[in-house]
Structure formats: structure tokens, C-alpha cells
């Protein structure tokens, strides 16, 4: 009986330690340095909603094709301030470092994406930064 | 002795359960919906580096003054693509929801900040979106 309890103690302590490590790792992920890549699109007037959706879907498919993309999110402008300069679609791509961006920019999957989206754009803005708090 | 081991098991299990809950909460934080508020600044040519720094510091001080700011980061453009439209400073403010943004926009601390930064800007762009993956 004592031996059984000893095993239970050991197992529970390992469980506790392991999940504490996981917690610390998740917390560390939140504070590490990130290279952000902000991309804003304004589409040409003649581009259809289906063509816009095709672009958004193709962009959102890049993280599966390019493994240096650490994080990806996007959305459509809903600012009530009215100073978005006509941009309607925004994408936030995150790299771990400049090497990641160097791989991403000329990557064949990114080049294919640019061929799809380029002719549909009225204008594009790209702004990159190292995220500071 | 058996009673002592029993307590140890109980304590270790509580420890393990507690840290597992913390881990799950952190993971949940990462996947919940976020309202992003992208702000880009281009300063007037006559604005000094010290005045630019004062603006960045004042913006970075807002999260301590306005509690609906869930997350905040900023940085200066370092994109090699050269299509940042002259914007040099970018800020990413995150709210939990539109109510947070409604509180932020007319907040006295934000109004004070706008009074400081406004006269120093050549142009400003604001783009908000609900972050989708």
C-alpha cells in the first residue's frame, strides 16, 4: 500500500511539473521577439467579391505552404474613424526573424500568390516592424 | 505515514490540476477573438527625433491609462519592399471587442495623446479588423 501511494505521489509530481513547464513555455511564447509584416490591400473597382475571397483564401493558405510563417491573421477594415486610405483587407504575417522574411519574400508559393493578387489590386501597402511593447 | 502520503498525493494532484487549468487558460487566450487596431504614422519633415520618441513613448504609455487596451506593440518600418507609403511608425492596439474600442477612442488619455501627436503628423492611417486565422 505504501509503495502504491509512493508511485501516486511520484506520478502526480511529474504531472504537476510537466504542466508547469508547459505553462512557462506558453508564457515565454507571448513575450519573445516577433517580426511583424503588415499587408494592406485595396482592390480595383471591377474585382468581384468572389475574386476578393479567392485572394483572401489564397493568402490564408500560405502558412501551410511556407513554414517560416510563425503566425498569420487577417480581416476586413471596420474602423469607424474613416482614415484607412481606401484599404479594405489587412493581413498580419509574423516571422521569427529576418531570415524567415528572406525565405518568405521570394518563396515560390508567395510568388504564385502575387501573380494571382497583383492584377486585382488598386494599391498595396507593406509595413514591417520588430514588435516592441 | 500512510496519512502523510495521502496528503502528499492530494497536494500534488491539486498542483497538477491547477497548473493544467492555467495552461488551458493561456492556450484559450491565444485563440480567442481579437479586435485589432493598426495605426501608422508619417511625421512632418521638421519633427525632431526627440519629438518622434516623445510620441512613441506617449502611445506606449496608453495601455497603463486605458484598461480596455488588451495588448499593445509598436515598431519602426524595416520592410525591404519599399511600399510603406512613407509611414515610419506602426502601432498595433488590441481590444477584446467593439465596446473596448468605443471606450478607447474618446478616452481623455487618448484625446491628450492626439493633441500631442496631431500637429507633428504628415499623415496617419488607421485600419481595424477582427482577427481571423
CA–CA separation, A52 and B51 (whole Å): 40
Would the CB atoms of B92 and A126 count as touching at under 8 Å?
A: no
Residues A18 and A39 in one domain: no
A60-81 confidence digits (pLDDT tens): 999 999 999 999 999 999 999 9
Grid coordinates of A45: 473597382
Same domain, B72 and B41: yes
Q: Are B8 and B65 members of one domain? A: no
Q: How far apart are the first and last CA of chain B?
A: 54
Question: What CATH code is carried by the domain that includes residue A76?
Answer: 3.30.70.100
**pLDDT score recorded for residue B15:** 55
Residues B96 and B121 in one domain: yes
Instruction: Give B5's DSSP letter.
Output: H
The per-residue pLDDT for range B55-73, each reduced to its tens digit, is 999 999 999 999 999 999 9
Q: Indicate yes or no: CB of A38 within 8 angstroms of CB of B36.
A: no
ipTM value, please give it: 0.78
Answer yes or no: do B77 and A129 touch at CB < 8 A. yes
Asked if B24 and B41 sit in the same domain, the reply is: no
What confidence category does residue A5 fall into, taking pLDDT thresholds of 50, 70 and 90? low
Q: How many CB atoms lie within 10 A of CB A28?
A: 9
CB nearest to A126's CB, from B75, B79, B128: B79
Full domain range(s) for residue A8: 1-32
Cell, residue B77: 518600418
Q: Quick check: A37 and B79 CB within 8 A?
A: yes
Q: Are residues B45 and B71 in the same domain?
A: yes
Q: Which residues contact B96 (CB under 8 A, 6 or more apart)?
A: B32, B34, B35, B68, B70
Question: How do residues B1-54 score in pLDDT, each as one tens digit?
Answer: 556 666 655 555 555 555 555 444 444 444 578 999 999 999 999 999 999 999
Neighbour order of strands in the sheet with B35-43:
B71-76, B89-95, B35-43, B121-130
Asked whether the predicted pLDDT for residue A23 surpasses 50, the reply is: no
- A69, A114: one domain: yes
How many domains is chain A built from? 2
On whether both A3 and A45 belong to a single domain, the answer is: no
Instruction: Give A122's contacts in chain B (Cβ within 8 Å).
Output: none
How do residues A81-116 score in pLDDT, each as one tens digit? 999 999 999 999 999 999 999 999 999 999 999 999
Same domain, B7 and B51: no
B15 shares a domain with B76: no
Contacts of A106 in chain B (CB under 8 A): none
Q: What is the reported pLDDT for B24?
A: 45
pLDDT band of residue A32 (cuts 50, 70, 90) is confident
A–B interface: beta-carbon pairs under 8 A: 148
pLDDT at residue B7, rounded to an integer = 61
Choose among A8, A36, A40: nearest Cβ to B127. Answer: A40
Please give the full DSSP string across A75-90, using - where no structure is assigned.
EE---TT--STT--EE
Q: Which of B26, B91, B73 is nearest to A27 (CA)?
A: B26
**Per this entry, what is the length of chain A?**
133
Average pLDDT, chain B: 87
CB A98 within 8 A of CB A84: no
Q: In this structure, are residues B16 and A16 in contact, taking their beta carbons and an 8 Å threshold?
A: yes
Same domain, A6 and A71: no
pLDDT at residue B119 tops 50: yes
Quick one: B9 and B71 in the same domain? no
Write down the pLDDT at residue A108: 98
Lowest-confidence region among A31-45, A49-63, B2-16: B2-16
pLDDT at A33: 86
A127 closest CB neighbour out of B13, B37, B77: B77
Amino acid at each position: 500500500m505504501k509503495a502504491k501511494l509512493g508511485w501516486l505521489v511520484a506520478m502526480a509530481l511529474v504531472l504537476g511539473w510537466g504542466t508547469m513547464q508547459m505553462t512557462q513555455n506558453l508564457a515565454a511564447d507571448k513575450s519573445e521577439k516577433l517580426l511583424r509584416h503588415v499587408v494592406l490591400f485595396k482592390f480595383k473597382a471591377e474585382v468581384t467579391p468572389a475574386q476578393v475571397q479567392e485572394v483572401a483564401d489564397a493568402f490564408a493558405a500560405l502558412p501551410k505552404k511556407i513554414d517560416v510563417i510563425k503566425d498569420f491573421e487577417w480581416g476586413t477594415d471596420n474602423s469607424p474613424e474613416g482614415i484607412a486610405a481606401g484599404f479594405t483587407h489587412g493581413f498580419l504575417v509574423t516571422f521569427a526573424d529576418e531570415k524567415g522574411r528572406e525565405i518568405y519574400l521570394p518563396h515560390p508559393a508567395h510568388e504564385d500568390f502575387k501573380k494571382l493578387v497583383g492584377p486585382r489590386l488598386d494599391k498595396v501597402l507593406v509595413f514591417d516592424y520588430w514588435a516592441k511593447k
